[in-house]
Structure 1
Amino acid sequence: MSIQATATDLLTIEGLGHVYEGTEPFEAIGKLDFTVPEGAFVSIVGPSGCGKTTMLRCLSGLMKPTRGEVRLEGEPVTGVPRDLALVFQDYSRSLFPWRTVAGNIAYVLPRDLPKAERAARVQESLDAVGLGEAGAKYPWQLSGGMQQRVAIARALAYRPAILLMDEPFASVDAQTRAELEDLMLAVREQFGMTILFVTHDIDESVYLADRVLVLSKSPSTIVESLDVDLPRPRDQVSTRELDDFVHLRSHIARLIRDQSMKGRPAA
């Protein structure tokens, strides 16, 4: 099925598929068709091993898909686009331990950017993630949650058209995770960012997003696209108590459970 992109669609994915070649080829992605409108927050969930990370690598230009096309702002993605930033799960490996926090953020900025503007962007990004006083510290002096805030600040400073996030909060404790979720809602509002967020946490996907895409098991396709019509601003307690929230997360959980059980022998 052909995707009809609209003027407001920032990212268009059409017929995307990927096969890992080898002695026993493995089809990770079957066929994906979807769009991400400008300013949207889209979450993607699915069974374990369904190809979410493979998909993100194809969308970001880090990996060439076997078939299909990815377009950012109407232009085919053939390499890593300048208007795209990616935040990984493993924050400790994405930061340079020998650079200060401010140095890590400044590293991604254009070399021809005036010095005063570079400093202003770094400080604005640190303030946005609640680390305004941490610029002179080194990543190893910070907690895991604070290091992930630095990774997010670096992406904000780059001013991408779209931010891709690959299970970015999977390695932190529950309290820090909730704080980072609320941080993403705040920076999305402040910067008007377009975000594509991959997570294995169903509650998180509903809490953050305007729309949730549920993937099948590999070779992955889209099982269902669900609009999240929950009031904003959202709150970790009151939002999760809403009947609509409970219904959505239960529906998604059933979809993923059904996908995970496909092909298994009956008990």
Structure 2
Amino acid sequence: MLDVLGLRKVHGPDPDGPPAVADLDFSVAAGEFVAILGSSGCGKTTMLRCLSGLVPPTAGEVLLHGAPVTGPPKDMAFVFQDYSRSLLPWMTVRRNVAFPLRYQGVTGPAARTATEEALAAVGLAGRGDRFPWQLSGGMQQRVAIARALAYRPKLLLMDEPFASVDAQTRAGLEDLLLEVRERYDITVVFVTHDIDEAVYLADRVLVLRPPAHVSLAVDVDLPRPRHQVDTKRLPEFGRLRAELFAALDGGGRDAAAPAPSPADAG
């Protein structure tokens, strides 16, 4: 579905300046959940903005269904990290969710049906008349997810969407995402700096090192459906966690130092 080919992004007018994204190559298959794992400042958000067509790359290209992405595609949705700024505070929850549908030409009863179905899917049925500022942080992020679902995207891009909520709320949102992804058959590219989150959610994890390039790709062969306790108790979960930890930490440790065991990584 998605092909990223030789992607390079330099901030500023000099195309030969230091890149935020350098020679990035990867593909995402239809229906796949790919987590992009990297430390803060490695270029993850810049990469996502290039994938979404919000900013043009300096070099390389992004293909969606084989067609170049030159602006935000109609069958792609983006859930931002800062949900409090992505929701419009003067609009009700229902109007926030319905807002982008006009750009698909969906209005009237069809828009109302799509909006109510999306709110129900994220557990917010009956809260459509509230305003975002009347909801908790976790509920606001559910509104942002509902807005993306109402749009019925084929591809969902998510930029550390659960980073600003507490651990219990985060676990609930992770499980919600897996449920709605299965229900709506959405392909997901999910950026995070949390190793456990990447392993728990994804079919495949790509590790980015700065400037953003893929230093490791790991298949996550854990059974689905997944469970916050049972899945994380599996020996394979611990092994994958340790492998990814070592890949992220490799630049800061002596190359001769042994990689951490699953127990050490915990």
Instruction: Give the TM-score normalised by the residue count of structure 1.
Output: 0.91
CA distance in 1, matches of 2:22, 2:96: 37
Identity within the alignment, %? 58
Is the CA contact (8 Å cut-off) linking 1:47 and 1:260 kept in structure 2?
no
One of 109, 116, 131 as aligned partner of 2:101 = 109
Residue of structure 2 equivalent to 1:173: 166
Deviation string, structure 1 residues 132-190 (Cα, Å, up to 9, x no partner): 11111110100000000000000000011100000000000000000000000000011
One of 193, 198, 201 as aligned partner of 1:208 = 201
CA distance in 2, matches of 1:204, 1:45: 9
Deviation string, structure 1 residues 69-119 (Cα, Å, up to 9, x no partner): 100111100111111110001000001111110000111113642411111
- Any idea what SS the aligned residue of 1:29 has? strand
- Equivalent residues in 2 for 1:105-184 (5 A)? 105-110=97-102, 112-184=105-177
Residue of structure 2 equivalent to 1:4: none
- Any idea what SS the aligned residue of 1:110 has? helix
Residue ranges of structure 2 left out of the alignment (5+ in a row): 256-266
CA distance in 2, matches of 1:14, 1:188: 26
Question: Is residue 54 of structure 2 the alignment partner of residue 66 of structure 1?
Answer: no
Task: Report the AA paired with residue 246 of structure 1.
Answer: G
CA distance in 2, matches of 1:165, 1:63: 16
One of 80, 89, 107 as aligned partner of 1:97 = 89
- Any idea what SS the aligned residue of 1:85 has? strand
CA distance in 2, matches of 1:58, 1:220: 12
- Any idea what SS the aligned residue of 2:242 has? helix
Task: Report the AA paired with residue 48 of structure 2.
Answer: L
- Equivalent residues in 2 for 1:44-59 (5 A)? 44-59=36-51
Is the CA contact (8 Å cut-off) linking 2:101 and 2:107 kept in structure 1?
no
- Any idea what SS the aligned residue of 1:123 has? helix
Task: Report the AA paired with residue 142 of structure 1.
Answer: L
Question: Is residue 7 of structure 2 the alignment partner of residue 16 of structure 1?
Answer: yes
Residue of structure 2 equivalent to 1:220: 212
Deviation string, structure 1 residues 200-246 (Cα, Å, up to 9, x no partner): 10000000000000111x22221111110000000000000000000
Task: Report the AA paired with residue 230 of structure 1.
Answer: L
CA distance in 2, matches of 1:261, 1:166: 27
Task: Report the AA paired with residue 125 of structure 1.
Answer: A
- Any idea what SS the aligned residue of 2:251 has? helix
Cα gap change, 1:262 to 1:18, in 2 (>3 Å): farther
Is the CA contact (8 Å cut-off) linking 2:94 and 2:128 kept in structure 1?
yes
Residue of structure 2 equivalent to 1:191: 184
Residue of structure 1 equivalent to 2:76: 84
CA distance in 2, matches of 1:256, 1:178: 23
Residue of structure 2 equivalent to 1:25: 17
Deviation string, structure 1 residues 24-81 (Cα, Å, up to 9, x no partner): 9331111111111001100000122110001001100111111101001111001111
Cα gap change, 1:31 to 1:223, in 2 (>3 Å): same
Residue ranges of structure 1 left out of the alignment (5+ in a row): 1-9
Instruction: Give the TM-score normalised by the residue count of structure 2.
Output: 0.92
What is the number of equivalent residue pairs in this alignment? 253
Question: Is residue 37 of structure 2 the alignment partner of residue 42 of structure 1?
Answer: no
